[in-house]
Amino acid sequence: MNNIVNVAVVGLGQVGNYLFNELIVKKKDIELKTGKKVNVVAISAKNINKRRKYKINRKIFYKNPFEIFKKEKVDILFEVIGQSDGVSKKLVETALKNKIHVITPNKALISKHGNNLAKLAEKNNVNLEFEASVAGGIPILRSIKEGLATNKLSKVYGILNGTSNYILSEMENSEQNFADVLKKAQMLGYAEPGNPKLDLNGFDAFAKVRILSALAFNSKISNKKCLMEGIEKIDLKDIKIANQLDLRIKLLGISELKNNQLFETVHPCLVSKKSYIGNVNGVMNAVILNGKPVGESVLQGEGAGPGPTSSSLLSDLLSILRGNIKKPFGVSVNKLKTLKTYNVNNYVNSLYLRFEVKDKPGVLSQITNRLAKYKISVKRLIQTPDKKNNKATIVIVTHKTTELNCNSCLSIFSKNKNILKSPTLIRLLD
Residues 6 or more apart whose CB falls under 8 angstroms from that of 181 comprise 167, 170, 171, 174
Rounded (10°) CA dihedral 266, 220, 97, 306: 30
Neighbours of 112 (CB within 10 A): 18
Q: Give the integer Cα–Cα distance in Å for 346 and 404.
A: 7
Nearest residue to 351 (alpha-carbon basis) of 404, 394, 406, 392:
406
Catalytic residue among 36, 112, 145, 208: 208
Q: Give the integer Cα–Cα distance in Å for 157 and 289.
A: 7
E strand intervals along 54-110? 61-62, 76-79, 101-103
Please say whether the beta carbons of 272 and 278 come within 8 A.
yes
Using the 8-state DSSP alphabet, how is residue 342 labeled? P
**What phi and psi values does residue 429 have, to the nearest 5 degrees?**
-75, 135
* Helix (H) / strand (E) containing 200: helix 197-200
Nearest residue to 1 (alpha-carbon basis) of 28, 40, 36, 27:
36
Distance of CA 203 to the CA centre of its chain: 7
**Is 208 an annotated catalytic residue?**
yes
Neighbours of 3 (CB within 10 A): 10
Please say whether the beta carbons of 37 and 5 come within 8 A.
yes
As to burial, measured by CB atoms within 10 angstroms (0-12 exposed, 13-18 middle, 19+ buried), residue 375 is exposed
Q: Which H, E and C letters describe 369-383, residue by residue?
A: HHHHHCCCCEEEEEE
Q: Known catalytic residues? A: 208
